[in-house]
């Protein structure tokens, strides 16, 4: 991280006062029980990083390390496993049997691999559409899960369109994490699956003496499904403090930030970024109302900031790819540089505040990294 952050320019940022009083319904409690019963389930680590807290002028900093979740290097298996469980249960209840069925999805890497892994474990098939910009090693990892892979020359939104077109026969199911009108039930299940991550954080913080919960959570954002789960968790609680919630996106794909500024969901043109899993141009229609209701602030960061954050995590013993490290890059952008005092005040942070960073992937999830 820069030695003199005060010299950094102000980031692309927006803040929305008063949203911490907004409330929504919670995720179903049975999701955590489902995950707890899966073979190989264990809570991922919540690691305290005192040196970061000192650097950033807050009380305590924790990172939720999703570099190994159910045998995969990212958090996505939580959503895929719950959604596929619900899909197969519904098909059985409808008399369609457990399969064979082909689970179809588009991905920037981690979600597609998770769907392919869960499909293989259930004896099903998977067909994954991959947009341009995804590293060949990430594509190979999806194929290594016995999935059929179709590489698309266009951006993520084009891959999503192609996947939807391929999932129209009775023996196919679209398991897409992004939602749009007419495709919201399965993305809703995926979001529910992510709630386990938040429940773990509550328990892990309480074990460290933080029983009221964090003061700030920083979450990387692509289409917004994980952020939807985070907002749902913290804005449905009837106890503890209501934390500030900060979304972080690449400068080249800041669709949630743009939507918050406009007051309605908008699409943005995307460019190349090392934060491949966040390279999405349109917020999920299911996520958007929740994000608009409960996100305190959004910030966009360049690839160079993500690379520096990943290197900082590595120096502290945390395996984090560019997407996961975006949580730290966004926090650093918010709390340092020109206008930092105003941004810190808007987030309600001081020298005693507790911050949680969601590092959503390990280094092996996204091998395409460049020095910042």
* Catalytic machinery residues: 76, 108
CA distance 130 to 112: 8
37: buried, middle or exposed (CB in 10 Å: 19+, 13-18, 0-12)? Answer: exposed
């Amino acid at each position: 991280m820069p030695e003199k952050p005060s010299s950094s320019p102000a980031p692309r940022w927006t803040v929305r006062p008063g949203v911490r009083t907004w409330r929504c319904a919670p995720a179903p409690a049975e999701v955590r029980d489902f995950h707890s019963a899966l073979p190989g389930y264990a809570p991922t680590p919540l690691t305290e990083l005192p040196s970061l807290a000192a650097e950033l002028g807050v009380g305590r900093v924790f990172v939720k390390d999703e570099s190994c979740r159910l045998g995969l290097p990212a958090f996505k298996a939580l959503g895929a496993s719950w959604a596929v469980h619900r899909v197969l249960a519904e098909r059985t209840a409808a008399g369609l049997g457990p399969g064979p069925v082909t689970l179809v999805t588009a991905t920037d890497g981690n979600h597609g691999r998770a769907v392919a892994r869960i499909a293989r474990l259930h004896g099903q098939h998977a067909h994954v559409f991959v947009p341009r910009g995804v590293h060949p090693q990430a594509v190979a990892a999806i194929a290594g899960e016995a999935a059929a892979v179709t590489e698309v020359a266009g951006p993520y939104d084009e891959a999503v369109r192609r996947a939807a077109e391929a999932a129209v026969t009775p023996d196919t199911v679209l398991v897409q994490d992004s939602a749009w009108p007419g495709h919201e039930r399965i993305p809703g299940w995926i979001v529910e699956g992510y709630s386990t991550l938040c429940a773990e954080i509550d328990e892990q913080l309480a074990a460290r003496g933080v029983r009221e919960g964090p003061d700030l959570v920083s979450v990387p954002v692509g289409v917004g499904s994980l952020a939807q789960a985070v907002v749902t968790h913290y804005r449905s609680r009837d106890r503890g403090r209501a934390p500030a919630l900060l979304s972080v996106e690449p400068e080249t794909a800041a669709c949630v930030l743009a939507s918050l500024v406009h007051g309605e969901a908008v699409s943005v043109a995307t460019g190349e970024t090392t934060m491949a899993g966040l390279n999405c141009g349109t917020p999920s229609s299911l996520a958007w109302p929740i994000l608009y209701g409960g996100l305190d602030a959004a910030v966009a960061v360049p690839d160079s900031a993500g690379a520096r954050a990943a290197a900082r995590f590595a120096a502290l013993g945390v395996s984090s790819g560019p997407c996961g490290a975006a949580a730290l890059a966004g926090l650093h952008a918010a709390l340092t540089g020109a206008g930092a005092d105003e941004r810190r005040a808007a987030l309600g942070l001081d020298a005693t505040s507790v911050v949680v960073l969601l590092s959503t992937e390990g280094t092996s999830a996204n091998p395409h990294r460049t020095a910042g």
